[in-house]
Homo-oligomer: A and B are copies of this chain.
Amino acid sequence: MKTTLLLVGKTVDKHFVALIDDYVERTKHYLGFEVEVIPDLKNNKSLSEEQQKEKEGELILKALQSADYVVLLDEGGKEMRSVEFAQYMRHKMNTVSKRLVFIIGGPYGFSEKVYQIAAEKMSLSRMTFSHQMVRLIFVEQLYRALSILAGSPYHHE
């Protein structure tokens, strides 16, 4: 299994970039992992929120492959404890043969078509975070999950 994190829009702030990159690199020790960025349409002022969501949805669908197992990071998704997310990742490693793709959407969320192709939705918290924060929290949790599975001390530091 390969794991991909698909993002809509680049991370801009250099401190967020540095922290996210660090967890991404550390995660790669445990897992075939890559981050793919879809350009966002934020600066296209002629689009309504709905149109932007649709357009971003099309770009997301284009970036996917037919055998992908797609998990959306979504407010309405399932919340897990870190140890549960670790078990979740172990299960996926044993059952997903091609790509496990986590998607963090744009500022207005996902289009209906993206919801339709998703296998699951997960949520990191009841709270709403900035997009940069969601990315950082997700990669830290992914790294933590794999550390838990590997028995590394990170989770207890």
Kindly list chain B residues whose C-beta atoms are within 8 Å of the C-beta of A107: 156-157
Number of copies: 2
Kindly list chain B residues whose C-beta atoms are within 8 Å of the C-beta of A133: 136-137, 140
In chain A between 57 and 112, which residues have their CB closer than 8 angstroms to a CB of chain B? 79-82, 85, 107
Evaluate contact between B81 and A126: CB separation under 8 angstroms.
Answer: yes
Chain A, interface residues (CB within 8 Å), range: 20 to 34
Kindly list chain B residues whose C-beta atoms are within 8 Å of the C-beta of A82: 127-128
Q: Is A27 an interface residue (CB 8 A)?
A: no
What is A's interface to B at a CB cutoff of 8 Å?
13, 15-16, 18-19, 79-82, 85, 107, 124-130, 133, 136-137, 140-141, 144, 155-157
Given contacts A127-B144, A129-B140, A136-B136, 14 further A-B contacts (CB under 8 A): A15-B16, A15-B18, A16-B19, A80-B127, A81-B127, A82-B128, A124-B125, A125-B125, A125-B127, A125-B137, A127-B137, A128-B144, A129-B137, A130-B140
